[in-house]
Each structure stands twice: as structure tokens, then as C-alpha cells.
A and B are shown apart, each in its own frame.
Chain A
Amino acid sequence: MTTSRRKFIKISALGLGAVAASTTAINMFGSNSYIDELVKQNVSKKFKRTATYCEVCFWKCAAWTYTNEDGEIKKIIGNEDDSHCYGRLCPRGTGGVGMYNDEDRLKTPLIRTTINGEETFRKASWDEALDLIASKFKGIKETYGAESVALIKHGAPGSHLEHLFKAFGSDTIAEPAYAQCRGPRETGFNLTFGTWVGSPEPTDIRDTKCLVLIGSHIGENMHNSQVQEMSDAIDKGVTIITVDPRLSTAASKSKYWLAIKPATDIALMLSWMNVIIEEGIYDKEYISKNATGFDELKKHVSQFTPEWAYGITTIKPEVIRETARAMAHAAPSVIIHPGRHVVWYGDDSQRARAMAILNALLGSWGRRGGFYFKEAAKVPNFPAPAYPEPKWGWKEIGEKYPLAQMGITTEVIKCALPDKENKYPVKAIMIAGTNITKSIPNKKLLEDAFDALDFMVVIDTMPMDVTGYADVVLPECTYLERYDDIRAATNREPSIAVRVPAVKPKYDSKPAWWMAKQIGERLGLGDYFNYDDFKEVIEWQLKEMGTSLEEMEKIGVKNYPRKSGPMYINEVETYHFPTASGKIQLYSQELLDLGFDAMPNYTKHPEPPQGFYRLNYGRAPMHTFSRTVNNPNLNDLKKENDLWVNPKVARIIGLKSGQEVWLKNQDDILSSFSIKVRITERVRWDSVYMVHGFGHENKKLSRANGKGINDTELISKVFTDPIMGGTGMRGNFVTILTENPHKNTEI
């Protein structure tokens, strides 16, 4: 299909949304008292509970979905046996009800069409939509090879579609969770300890004596068990050290808040290493037994004194010394938290290395109150033929970045741009469960790539912005309406959790496993989907694991004893680290051989020019990126983001709290919408801050559309990590406009 510029369609042809059902519960009349009525409503009514694990974020907390006699989902409560949530969901998990009830959900398959010269969507049957996808995929396979069909995915639907793609012969697969999020820390920690950090992070927060958060804002990110454990640690008198230019929630709970100048974290960490080594307060026995490269490190950091770091970070030398000593005092029960969204300035793998090295010096890796050795339950693969071997895939596409351990979304997307030199042409993309126009920077790249594609499919539960670029949109049902893979994440103890539908899929939505199977069968890959219902897969797997779906439906979560050995290093034996040397690598020969610094160095990063402010962004506890903003329950808690501005800056520009402003970045890119000013001392005068995920363009998101600013659209300058391809996004600067720049133009 050749199209002119792929116009963004705001799903305008969608049918009218169903009117929200009234949630009024209490009949004023005919009851003896309010309490009697309440009791009748909540107590005498029989709730049925169904096991699930949450998909509002990706912490995957196990929970119970409560449905009433009318089959309505009334509430979702955490599973007490689950180590991801300890029986308490976060606001998003509790508000998962709204994901199901959202009347703006995608309701039927949609196909792009042109009516009177206008591109729009029309409703389609499942057969028509799936036939079209299969025929396009087949056509591209015949002309270019299956590799030219790419998958960008996130969350539970991703794994079903990954199976389809691998069966089809394509390993051109990537997810924003890597190059736009946690990739650099996985590379940095892997180079040092030989292990990924993974999710949930194996941070032993509940037993830690000192928690160091560097730009990581636990409490605003509701990574559930971590938030809970941080709270438990506060009860036990933990010392929290937070390094953040903004007074985050965690910073407000900290003994030490280091209000660092943005982009100078590596300098601070180098000076911490300097103090810890110069003062001899590192874990000498642990280092001599378990690490290599200490002498090189000692020599390297000898120049990075706190006085040197003061000039860069604005953190006073005595504070640097005092905090370094506080960490050493708590060691080995100390955690320099690896963070999660760590793509900042392009030297992010090296910053992660600095964190890993500090943890090593303090002896916290593999120690109680530091990092535990994680373990996952092994779930057997359901029998299927072996996947064919693709000629190229994400690895080859990302070959410029030698230590990329997963697909780099931006590199995969670049392969769609017309270029004769391109060895790896991408002609079609399927996007599942991720609104990439709000997670991947450089909107122009995305639009150019979408424009050049022959075919694009989006699978989502909601008419997210990205659906507007698709040729075919498939409505996925929510996690409350489907079976999915068994959850077997790493943790202190291995465990499994199941997701069982509490209700039938609403509207004409379907689970992703069903879509994968249907497309697979149309592509002649039926052997890979040897089941009628995904339930059969889980039943088989659970039986192999010595349990049953019947049992799991009753308990939701099953915890197993560890098999891999103790959770912490056995001090008597020699621990073999899964690195090249079998030891912790303070000095990385691997990095040096690839032409990178063997030990982290501080690099100066660009600073905002006159009249511009660094654009910082983060999380709010009640939202997950852009995916929850339209959820009626969660939208009720926070409808739009606001622009945090220091009072000094507000005075200079003449801003008032609540005033509507627009933003323009260093590349003259304007925000699509306005944002309200929040004047607060919680941010520095050289930066502004907003919560990520707002400013939805799709009018079909009736609550989220046009509310607040999408930070990602203002991130046009990307600082790519040369080691693993992460897209650094914290080096963009904005100026504040008090007049509407779109006044005479229609958005």
C-alpha cells in the first residue's frame, strides 16, 4: 500500500461510546437506615473472587477480582501470599476496575479507509481484519522475508505475539522497556556482577540500613513491594540518601537529600568512591575475595576528591564525606538502587557501572539488606515446533551498539525509513500494548517511519495516540477478561501466579493469545498454536509443575522453596560470579576492548541556554505512563500534569500558580497543548518538571484528550548510549510561553 503522508486518525469513525453505567449504590428510599443499606450492598451480596495478576503496570501483583451477583467487577484486592504486593495493591491496581469499565475502550476491529479523500477508520469484522493482516504479512514475507515484519511490544500481550513472530520467522522484536527505560542499568550491572538487575529488582530493602536513591523516586513510582519495603525500613530506622535535583517524595523521607545539579551524578559517585577507598571504609575482605581491578579503581578515583565534585555537583564536600561514611557504616546492608528509567544523558551504562561499583565496594551484592540472589520458578514450554532461524533480527539491527542485550526500538524503527543502504528493511510493524508516540522520543522519526511503512497494526485496549497511525487496529480485552501466561518472575522465593478471566470480554474485544493464534493459523502456523483456548496451555504447564488450574484458581499464588542455593553469599565458600573472570569486575576489560572506558568517568553535559530550563519528567503514583490517564478511577485522582516551576523563575517570567502556559524546546518544537503552572520550591531554578504520560491527542480519549503536555513530544534531542543504544532523554531544554502559539493554527 502506498499512502500519502500517513495522517493521524483520531478514530473518528468509532461508534458512540456506551453511556457510563451509573454506579449509584444506595437507594434513599425503602430502607431502614443508611447502614442497613450499606450492609446489604456490601456484606450480604455475594462476591465471587477470581485470581489474577495486575497489568495496570508491569510489577504484576497477584490479586483477586471481586465480582457481584450481577457479574459486575466491584473491586480488586491484593493476594496476601504474593511477594510482589503482600496483599496490598497500589492505587493503579485498586483502580484496575476503571480499565475494564472505561467506556472509551476500543470496541471492534478497525481498518483504515479513505472516504471522500479523508482518511478514516471503519469498523471491521474480526475475520476481515485478521485476513488482511495475514495477507499483508504473507506478501511482505514473499518479497522481503519474514524478518521485515517487526514487533514492538510491552506487557502480557507481547509474549503471545512474540511467539507468533518467532514462528513466522521474524526476530525483529523490540520493546521500549529496554532502550527507553532500564537497558543501561542491565548492561552496567551485567558488566560488573555478571547478572541483570531484572524486575522486580533484587533489592533487599526490607532489611536494609541505608537506601541510596539516585534520581529514583520510589513512592512516586509505585513499584509495589519496594514501596512497602521502604516503608518497613523507615519503621526500622533506615537512613535514606536521595540524590535528586527535585524534592521527590522519597527525598522528603530522607535523612540526606542531596539537591544535585542535574546531569552530574557520575561526578558525585566518583567522589563517593574516592572517600570510601581513601578512608579505607570499603569492605576489604569482600573486595579481596570477590573482585578484580581494585588497584586500577583506586588509582582512577584518587583524583576525584569531594572538593573536585563540589564544583561540579554543588554538593558540599563535607556532605559527600558524611554520606559516604553513612553508607559504609550501614554496609553491607546498603543499597545503591540501580533505578529503573535510567536513559538520561547517553553515558547511562557508565553511570549504572558507577552504581554497581559502589555496591561492590560496600559489599552489598549478595548480602542481607543489600541485593539478594533472585530466583524464578521454571515454567515448562508448551509443546510446539522449533522456531525457524531468521537471517537477521534485532541483534543485527542493533550491531552498532555492541552490548545491546535486547532489541533497540529506535533502531528497529529507523529500518523502516527509505534508504537504499539499509540491509535490514522493515516494511510492516505490529505494535502491541505500548503507546510508543509517548514512550519513544523524536516524534519526527516515528512519523517518517510510519509514513514509509507498507503496513501497520496496533493492538491495544484503548484508542491510544499510536492507534491513529495504524492500518488495522485490534481491540484487546483487559487483563480482567482473559487468561495469560503464568507469572513466574524472579524474587526472593520462586513463585507462580495465574490470571483467570473474572468476566467475559466486553464489546467485541479479544485476548492477544487468540489474535496470535488466529493470525498464525492464517499464516499456516497452526502447529505452533495447538490449543483451542489458552487455558489448555496453562492447565498443561501447571500439571507439569505438580499443581493444577483448579488449585491455582483457589490460591492465585503458589510459592516454592528455593532451589538455586542461599539468597546471600555463603561467607565460608567462594562465590563464583557469572562474569568472564568469575569475580566482580571493578575494571572492565570487556568495555576497554570495545573502545570504551574501563571505569566510569564524568563527562560534562550541555546546560540550558539563557531563558531555557532543563525538562525533567517523572511519575505520579496513580498513573502508569500514558496508559492510565483515561481510566475513570485514576483520572479522578489526577486529570492532568502540571509544570513545576521554582518561585524565582516564576517571579522572573511573571507566572502565577494555575496559569496556562505552552512550552517550546531548543529545536523550536511546540507543545501541542497547554499546561498549568505549579509554583513550588520542590524544583531547582535551572529545571522544570512534569509528570510523564499526559497530553493525549486522541479525541476518543474523552477524559485524557488535550489535558496537559506530553513530555515526550518535547524530547527531540536524543543522547544515545554508545554501549547499548539507550536513548538519553534528559538533555532537552524548554522555554515557557505565556501566549498560545497555536492561536491562529488548528491542531
Chain B
Amino acid sequence: MRYAMVIDTLKCVGCSDCVVACQTENDVPIGFCRDWITETVNGSYPNLDLELKSERCNHCDNAPCVRCCPTGASHIAEGGIVMVTADECIGCGACIESCPYDARYQHPDGYVDKCTFCHHRLEKGQLPACVSVCPTKCMYFGDLDNPNSEVSQLLKNRKHKTLAPEAGTNPHVFYLI
């Protein structure tokens, strides 16, 4: 089992529904977020490209946050999900600094928080909240170890990229372009 998320930038409209859905699903305090939208504009008027996409923890195989965590609170759980055990976290912030995606924040209660791929929903057979709410259905989630899964098929058939590949993190959020 290797969970992965695939996001189709050709469909994303950057509405931020994924952000609110994550906040209400996971009780993320107002002012913080586990996922967010970025906008990139290239070219000059009127020859322009606009890319909108939803970003979050990349649940890397080679996760710098896990390597640098002094207590072991940051760890890789089943399915490759990078997790933080809140009561083992001392809030030192090393992981926040090490993450090339700026995907972590310090919760007001002291520990570091981030996207969990909605682990608690996966256990019930539900998709992550962001994927299930997206009005453009531009987000896909599944098991990369299964060659027939939707995510495997999309990555097989469509042009795609990952973020900051130069960081060598082997991220598991993919963007169709």
C-alpha cells in the first residue's frame, strides 16, 4: 500500500474548497491551514499561462521532517503517510524548517500539525475531505502499489510533475499538467 494524491491542474480553479473542507473536517484552527492554493502566471498579456493548484504535505518517501525530528514524533505510518504524534512532539520546529514545501505549522496547542491524508477517514473507507469536496473533481487519491488504481492509471497516461523534485524527497503528491 502506497497512498498518493494526483491533482489535475487543468481542472483546478483554485476555489479553496479543499482548504475549508480540511479545516472543518480536521478542526484546523482559523488562521492555519494544512492545504492551500498557489497561482503561477507565466508570459505577458495576452500570451499567458495560469496554473492553479492545491498544495499540502507531499508525504515524501525521503522525508526531511522525519529525519530531523529529535523525538520521533514525525514518522512514516502505514501507506507512506507522514504523521506527527502530537504527544511526542516538543514543538521544536525543526521539521517546519526542513520541509521544502512549507507544509507544516505549529498548532496553538504547541505541537506541529499537517496534512494526514485524512487518515481517520481512510480507515472508514472514505476519501480525504479535500478530495471528496472538490467541485472540479480535480483531485484523485489511491494506492500507487496497485497498477490499476485511478492514480496509477493517471500517472501512466498523463503528463505530470512533482514539486521541488531537486530536493530529492520523492514526494507523493503529483500534478497533472
Q: Which A residues are within 8 Å of any B CB, using their own CB? A: 20, 23-29, 31-35, 37-39, 41-43, 74-78, 88-91, 94-95, 97, 219-220, 222, 224, 227-228, 230-232, 234-235, 247, 249-253, 257, 259, 621-622, 632-634, 636-638, 646-647, 680-685
CB-CB under 8 A from B138, the residues of chain A are 231
- Is the CB–CB distance between B109 and A26 below 8 Å? yes
- Is the CB–CB distance between A253 and B10 below 8 Å? yes
- Is the CB–CB distance between A75 and B25 below 8 Å? yes
Q: How many A-B residue pairs have CB under 8 A?
A: 176
- Is the CB–CB distance between B123 and A621 below 8 Å? no
Determine which of A25, A33, A95, A257 lies in contact with B20 in the assembled complex, contact meaning CB atoms within 8 Å. A95
Residue of B10, B29, B120, B135 most packed against chain A (CB within 10 A) = B135
- Is the CB–CB distance between A633 and B108 below 8 Å? no
Q: Distance in Å from the Cβ of A469 to the closest Cβ of chain B?
A: 31
Task: Give the CA-CA distance A582 to B44 in the complex, in Å.
Answer: 49
Determine which of A28, A43, A252, A646 lies in contact with B87 in the assembled complex, contact meaning CB atoms within 8 Å. A28
Task: Give the CA-CA distance A252 to B14 in the complex, in Å.
Answer: 12
24 contacts between A and B (CB under 8 A): A24-B27, A28-B87, A33-B86, A42-B26, A88-B133, A90-B135, A91-B16, A91-B17, A94-B17, A94-B24, A219-B13, A219-B136, A228-B135, A228-B136, A231-B135, A231-B137, A247-B50, A249-B50, A249-B52, A257-B46, A621-B14, A621-B17, A622-B20, A681-B48
The answer to whether residues A23 and B135 also contact, given A34-B86, A247-B48 and a CB cut-off of 8 A, is no
CB-CB under 8 A from A31, the residues of chain B are 86-87
B165 CB within 8 Å of chain A:
no
Chain B interface residue bracket vs A = 35 or more
B19 CB within 8 Å of chain A:
yes
- Is the CB–CB distance between B13 and A220 below 8 Å? yes
Task: Give the CA-CA distance A685 to B50 in the complex, in Å.
Answer: 18
B76 CB within 8 Å of chain A:
no
- Is the CB–CB distance between A90 and B30 below 8 Å? no
Task: Give the CA-CA distance A622 to B18 in the complex, in Å.
Answer: 11
Please name the residue on chain B nearest to A217 by beta carbon.
B13
Please name the residue on chain B nearest to A44 by beta carbon.
B120
Determine which of B44, B45, B87, B120 lies in contact with A38 in the assembled complex, contact meaning CB atoms within 8 Å. B120
- Is the CB–CB distance between A680 and B41 below 8 Å? yes
Contact with A along B1-33 (1 / 0, CB 8 A): 000000000110111110111011111011101
B168 CB within 8 Å of chain A:
no
- Is the CB–CB distance between A35 and B83 below 8 Å? yes
Please name the residue on chain A nearest to B132 by beta carbon.
A88
CB-CB under 8 A from B23, the residues of chain A are 633, 636
CB-CB under 8 A from B110, the residues of chain A are 28
CB-CB under 8 A from B45, the residues of chain A are 247, 259, 646, 681-685
Please name the residue on chain A nearest to B50 by beta carbon.
A252
Q: Which B residues are within 8 Å of any A CB, using their own CB? A: 10-11, 13-17, 19-21, 23-27, 29-31, 33, 41, 43-46, 48-52, 77, 83-87, 107-111, 116, 119-121, 123-124, 132-138
Task: Give the CA-CA distance A42 to B119 in the complex, in Å.
Answer: 11
Please name the residue on chain B nearest to A230 by beta carbon.
B136
CB-CB under 8 A from A249, the residues of chain B are 13-14, 50, 52
Determine which of B17, B30, B41 lies in contact with A632 in the assembled complex, contact meaning CB atoms within 8 Å. B30
Task: Give the CA-CA distance A20 to B108 in the complex, in Å.
Answer: 15
Q: Distance in Å from the Cβ of B30 to the closest Cβ of chain A?
A: 5
Task: Give the CA-CA distance A193 to B71 in the complex, in Å.
Answer: 70
Determine which of B15, B77, B111 lies in contact with A219 in the assembled complex, contact meaning CB atoms within 8 Å. B15
- Is the CB–CB distance between B13 and A38 below 8 Å? no
- Is the CB–CB distance between B11 and A94 below 8 Å? no
Please name the residue on chain A nearest to B25 by beta carbon.
A75
CB-CB under 8 A from B31, the residues of chain A are 636
Please name the residue on chain A nearest to B13 by beta carbon.
A219
CB-CB under 8 A from B25, the residues of chain A are 42, 75
CB-CB under 8 A from B87, the residues of chain A are 28-29, 31-34
Determine which of B20, B43, B83, B135 lies in contact with A88 in the assembled complex, contact meaning CB atoms within 8 Å. B135
Q: Knowing that A31-B87, A91-B17, A621-B13 are A-B contacts, what are 11 other residue pairs whose CB atoms are under 8 Å apart, sorted by A's residue number?
A: A24-B29, A24-B109, A28-B86, A42-B120, A74-B24, A77-B133, A219-B14, A220-B13, A250-B13, A633-B24, A681-B44
CB-CB under 8 A from B44, the residues of chain A are 647, 681
Residue of B13, B27, B48 most packed against chain A (CB within 10 A) = B13
CB-CB under 8 A from B119, the residues of chain A are 35, 38
CB-CB under 8 A from B77, the residues of chain A are 35
Task: Give the CA-CA distance A682 to B86 in the complex, in Å.
Answer: 43
CB-CB under 8 A from A34, the residues of chain B are 83-87, 111
- Is the CB–CB distance between A681 and B43 below 8 Å? yes
- Is the CB–CB distance between B16 and A621 below 8 Å? yes
- Is the CB–CB distance between B86 and A234 below 8 Å? no
CB-CB under 8 A from A41, the residues of chain B are 27, 120
- Is the CB–CB distance between A633 and B17 below 8 Å? no
Please name the residue on chain B nearest to A61 by beta carbon.
B135
CB-CB under 8 A from A97, the residues of chain B are 24
CB-CB under 8 A from B86, the residues of chain A are 26, 28, 31, 33-34, 37
- Is the CB–CB distance between B46 and A259 below 8 Å? yes
- Is the CB–CB distance between B133 and A89 below 8 Å? yes
Task: Give the CA-CA distance A230 to B133 in the complex, in Å.
Answer: 16
Task: Give the CA-CA distance A94 to B26 in the complex, in Å.
Answer: 13
CB-CB under 8 A from A634, the residues of chain B are 20
Please name the residue on chain A nearest to B17 by beta carbon.
A91
Q: Distance in Å from the Cβ of B129 to the closest Cβ of chain A?
A: 8
Q: Distance in Å from the Cβ of A449 to the closest Cβ of chain B?
A: 37
Query: What 7 A-B pairs come out closest when comparing CB atoms?
Result: A25-B27, A219-B13, A252-B50, A621-B15, A259-B46, A231-B136, A34-B86
- Is the CB–CB distance between A224 and B135 below 8 Å? yes
Task: Give the CA-CA distance A632 to B24 in the complex, in Å.
Answer: 12
- Is the CB–CB distance between B30 and A89 below 8 Å? no
